[in-house]
Amino acid sequence: MVRYKKIAVILCLVSLSIAEDIKPSYEQTSIKIINSLKSDSVGYNRLSYLCDMFGPRLSGSKNLEKAIDWIIKEMKLDGLSNVKGERVKVPTWIRGEESLQILVPYIKDLKILGIGGSVGTPKAGISGEVLVLNSFDELEEVKYKARGKIVLFNVPFTTYGETVKYRYDAPNKAAKYGAKATLIRSIGSWSMNTPHTGTMGEYTYHKKIPHAAITSEDAMMISRISKRGQKVVLKLNMDGKFVEDRWSRNIIAELKGSTYPEEIIVVGGHIDSWDVGQGAHDDAGGCVAAWRAVTLIKELGLKPRRTIRIVLWTNEENGGKGNENYKNEHLSELNNHILAIESDGGVFAPQGFGFTGSEKARDYILDIASLLDPIGAGTITNWGRAADVAPLNDNGVPVMSLNVDNSKYFWYHHTNADTFDKIDFREFNNCIAAMAIMSYVVSDMEKKLPR
Amino acid sequence: MVRYKKIAVILCLVSLSIAEDIKPSYEQTSIKIINSLKSDSVGYNRLSYLCDMFGPRLSGSKNLEKAIDWIIKEMKLDGLSNVKGERVKVPTWIRGEESLQILVPYIKDLKILGIGGSVGTPKAGISGEVLVLNSFDELEEVKYKARGKIVLFNVPFTTYGETVKYRYDAPNKAAKYGAKATLIRSIGSWSMNTPHTGTMGEYTYHKKIPHAAITSEDAMMISRISKRGQKVVLKLNMDGKFVEDRWSRNIIAELKGSTYPEEIIVVGGHIDSWDVGQGAHDDAGGCVAAWRAVTLIKELGLKPRRTIRIVLWTNEENGGKGNENYKNEHLSELNNHILAIESDGGVFAPQGFGFTGSEKARDYILDIASLLDPIGAGTITNWGRAADVAPLNDNGVPVMSLNVDNSKYFWYHHTNADTFDKIDFREFNNCIAAMAIMSYVVSDMEKKLPR
């Protein structure tokens, strides 16, 4: 026990000495960054432009490629280095027309969003009685009832992680018992008749059945009617299909390091979105926050020792080919990837970062994070492995993920309501500040962030 | 001044003596009503059934008439007296298919809801550049720009009264200057890409142009793009049209007065709704609250001296033929209409009532309202002239309108999100309690409510 105490004291002193190094060295700069962003509208205006001028940015779409063209052009005008699009083949799913009608007990069009990756229905659509279930367990209990039915999983949102399995797996589970199609209650924490799309897992059962999300309101309604012992009949039409893979691009741009240019700190988000709304919080906001963080560092005349590289991954939403490609293209550099920071949880009020890396590295990160306390973003939690940085972490790179107040994130997530008007200027700019300060200090501090 | 003080003292004493009459006489009963409703689910279940089993209840629709059939049947089973449907011819507008697409700067389907009463477009639709305006005043300033355009009024919601004029008048104002169609930003205080329908005023300009609401998100987006000096082109298709007037019904049901059956207290709401969502707050909730209030009075064995009459008006939303018909059919009885209470502002937490009537009557009402303090519904404000009771008030009848916490009312109003799941059990039952206590005491108190 005595020995452990000694180690703890030593660690504590090390930690203090780091704090004494970093905080005084960077406090003034970080305050300058925070203050600059109080009225800076460069990022905000770019986010607005990106959201408004290209439409939603599904992988494989022209919208996405036009948005990428524009960003690359602007990044060059910003004077960033090594600006380029790295080509990536992405799976391309096309929604096409889709509709859902309730036929019994009365006729009315219901809103749906097909789940990305779903097959379509036959041209005449699929009509059928609904079987309402509350869980996969219930499906197992009453599997004999599923044959020939449209199976609706009316599962209320708890957490994304817990609820999303119905979006992923429902068609495989229900097709096994003869279901004609599956519907899920949208994976969202609030609804104004708002369907949420998203990706499904691969079809693993040989019979592929269509899969779509309906609104919470309609899922609850159908469930109530059904509980009264009344029949509900629906008619589903979907055109969804995969076409051949298409070319897209990851965007790269750099602020070259002044002393160790080969050492790289990545900041980024994913530039693709679902084919609804504007993908404003998910994830145009994260992309532009990373981008503006770096151009602001440059504009302030800061010359970090290491390179800060903006990476805007493509195809995060339905394939992950962007992050796979980035890792493969930059394999030889990965040892020099000091840290990779991703923002993909919305650009609401930032709270800090999740971090995955060594305890030694965490000590540094904790000290840097204290510079974010003035904007309430100084808390470091334990999980930095967001989707696009996880493959880097698998290769030993410490990774971080911006944490924000996510109380409304799943109101908008993958819906037509994820639009620029949902972005709060101050909150968004604080996200930029958090990204800028974290990436700047790690790129500039004397010691290299340890692995 | 001295004289006024004396009058005030006398008024105060009169007021006190009324209070002394009413409060002790009815306190126990009102507590009993409130307590009964803590767990009573009769109204809640009926509201759910009404919302779920018939679909939205637009005037002239089968849905509405089926809902009316069911209510009349149930009211007879409840043992209410004089249950009937009083036939009313109602204007019948049919939405048909409608769609809106943004063509420039990119292609995407946008949500719309045509405004009730609008003409349709030609079969091929109307394509055109958008002129975004912020007010009717701005239209006058730039009227020369409106010719050949689709005019969008991007007016943020302030109050319903202030903003609704764009829904009413936009097509007449803009057609005068050659606009091809009008769009409005939906009249709502929150949006998740939620279009709001509602009625327009009559066409007064000889050229009738189509008129629809788009979502706040899309209105803001089009406005932002336009402010950048970029062109926005839209394509609008609408099938909306009036068909011949159809028959509907006002529903009447009574709890007959034990002593003065000819004296009538009306409680009610409107049974029609828009053709979207379930019309849960607007106004199935008000109807069922009035209905349950009366059956609860009956079940508790209370035998009020005067008659309480439930009136569920038809065609409030787009014509007002229901309230007109009620007034005409019951003209000879109007002198004996002691009070008419309407609930048409949602069934959120009740706060009290608006009242329009004499000061003498108000004194009574204030005293009765104090019985509602335990549920926070004891406040009497100055405006009781809701749409369906206003014609009665024009004929001398004191009228009241249930006031509720309306902070979310215009989130849902006239949208697909006005659904049963938005009803809070406790809040709804407190609305029933407020309606029950107010109508019971006025119908039972020794003195007749003065005019």
pLDDT of residue A18: 53
The amino acid at residue B128 is G
Is pLDDT at A19 greater than 80 in this prediction?
no
Q: A189 CB near a chain B CB, below 8 Å? A: no
> What is residue B214's predicted lDDT score, i.e. its pLDDT?
98
State the pLDDT at residue B371.
98
Cβ within 8 Å, pair A420-B193: no
Does A41 lie at the interface with B, CB-CB under 8 angstroms? no
Buried-state track B349-382, b at ≥16 Cβ within 10 A, e below 16: bbbbbbbbbeeebbbbbbbbbebbebbebbebee
8 Å CB contact of A106 and B421 = no
**Cα end-to-end span (Å), chain B:** 28
- What is the domain partition of chain B in residue ranges? 23-93+244-444, 97-239
What's the whole-number average pLDDT of chain A? 95
Q: How far apart are CA B142 and CA B144, in angstroms?
A: 5
Q: Collapsing DSSP states into helix, strand and coil, what is residue B250?
A: strand
Q: Does B97 touch chain A (CB under 8 A)?
A: no
Whether B339 contacts B266, CB under 8 Å: yes
CB A379 within 8 A of CB A352: yes
Instruction: Give how far Cα B289 sits from Cα of A235, B35, B283, B402, Å.
Output: 34, 16, 10, 11
Residues B36, B38, B39, B41, CA torsion sign = positive
CA B165 to chain CA centroid, nearest Å: 17
Of B52, B107, B192, the CB nearest to A225: B52
**Min distance A301 CA to chain B CA atoms (Å):** 30
Best mutation target, B44, B52, B234, to test chain A (most A CBs within 10 A)? B52
Q: Which CATH class is domain A96-239?
A: alpha beta
Q: Does A259 touch chain B (CB under 8 A)?
A: no
pLDDT number for residue B287: 98
pLDDT at B8: 47
Distance from the Cα of B276 to chain A's closest Cα (Å) equals: 9
Check residue B21 and give its pLDDT: 74
Mean pLDDT of B302-327: 98
CATH no. of B23-93+244-444: 3.40.630.10
pLDDT at B195: 98
Binary contact (A106, B49; C-beta < 8 A): no
Tell me the pLDDT tens digit for each residue of B144-201: 999 999 999 999 999 999 999 999 999 999 999 999 999 999 999 999 999 999 999 9
List of residues 6+ apart from A224 with CB closer than 8 A: B48, B52, B420
Q: Using the predicted structure, report yes or no on whether residue A237 has a pLDDT greater than 60.
A: yes
Q: Which residues contact A62 (CB under 8 A, 6 or more apart)?
A: none
Number of CB pairs < 8 Å for A and B?
Answer: 110
Residue B302 pLDDT greater than 90, yes or no: yes
pTM as predicted:
0.94
Mutate to test the interface with A, among B62, B230, B421 (most CBs of A within 10 A): B421
Residue B72 CA to chain centroid, in angstroms? 21
Who contacts A13 (Cβ-Cβ below 8 Å, separation ≥6)? Answer: none
Work out the percent of chain B whose per-residue pLDDT is above 90: 95
- pLDDT for residue B12: 46
Percent of chain A clearing pLDDT 90 (strictly above): 95
Q: Which CATH architecture has domain B97-239?
A: 3-Layer(bba) Sandwich (3.50)
Q: How high is the pLDDT of residue A209?
A: 98
pLDDT digits (tens, 9 = 90+) for A390-400: 999 999 999 99
Residues of B in contact with A48 (CB under 8 A): 224
| Cβ contacts of B191 on chain A, cutoff 8 Å | 192, 417
* φ, ψ of residue A3 in degrees (nearest 5): -60, -45
- The answer to whether residue A103 neighbours chain B at the CB level (below 8 Å) is no
Interface of A with B in 218-247 (CB under 8 A): 220-221, 224-225, 228, 230
Whole-number pLDDT of residue A8: 47
Phi, psi of B185 (to 5 degrees): -65, 130
Task: Kindly state whether A154 is in contact with chain B, defined as any CB-CB distance less than 8 angstroms.
Answer: no
- The CATH architecture one would assign to domain A2-93+244-444 is 3-Layer(aba) Sandwich (3.40)
- Which position among A65, A98, A254, A316 bears the catalytic label? A316
Chain A: closest CA distance from residue B338 (Å): 39
Mean pLDDT within B337-360 = 98
Q: Cα dihedral angle (A27, A33, A37, A38), rounded to 10 degrees?
A: 30
Q: Residue A319 has what pLDDT?
A: 96
Query: Cα distance from A368 to chain B (closest Cα, Å)?
Result: 37
Out of B111, B216, B419, closest to residue A217 by CB:
B419
User: What are A59-95's pLDDT values in tens digits?
Assistant: 999 999 999 999 999 999 999 999 999 999 999 999 9
Torsion of CA A35, A37, A39, A44, to 10 degrees: -170
Q: What percent of chain A has pLDDT over 70?
A: 96
Residues in A touching B63 (Cβ below 8 Å): 106
**Radius of gyration in angstroms for the set of CA atoms belonging to chain A, rounded to a whole number:** 24
pLDDT band for position A11 (cuts 50, 70, 90): very low
A372 closest CA partner among A409, A393, A402:
A402
Contact B119, B240 (CB under 8 A): yes
Q: Does A417 touch chain B (CB under 8 A)?
A: yes
Report the gap between the CA of A224 and the closest CA in chain B (Å): 8
Judged by a CB distance cut-off of 8 A, whether residue A192 touches chain B is: yes
Residues of chain B with C-beta less than 8 angstroms from the C-beta of A194: 192-194
Tell me which residue in B51, B106, B412 faces A54 most closely, judged by beta carbons.
B106
* Torsion from C-alpha of B317, B318, B322, B324, nearest 10 degrees: 120
Kindly state the average pLDDT of the residues A213-233: 98
Predicted confidence (pLDDT) at residue B4 exceeds the cutoff of 60: no
A419 CB near a chain B CB, below 8 Å?
Answer: yes
**In this structure, how many other beta carbons lie within 10 angstroms of the beta carbon of residue A374?**
16
Cβ distance B193 to A417 less than 8 Å, yes or no, reads yes
Check pLDDT > 90 for residue A15: no
- pLDDT, one tens digit per residue, over B105-131 is 999 999 999 999 999 999 999 999 999
| Distance, C-alpha B307 to centroid of its chain | 24
**Mean pLDDT, chain B, integer:** 95
What's the pLDDT score for residue B11? 47
Contact A217 B111 (CB under 8 A): no
Contact call for B106 and A55, based on CB within 8 A: yes
The whole-angstrom distance between A127's CA and the closest CA on chain B is 19
Confidence of residue A23 (pLDDT cuts 50, 70, 90): confident
Mean pLDDT, to the nearest integer, of B355-359? 98
> How does pLDDT run across A159-212, given as a tens digit for each residue?
999 999 999 999 999 999 999 999 999 999 999 999 999 999 999 999 999 999
pLDDT at A21: 74
Alpha carbon distance A372, A349 (integer Å): 12
**Contact criterion met (CB below 8 Å) for A256 and A230:** no
- On the question of a common fold for A2-93+244-444 and A96-239, the answer reads no
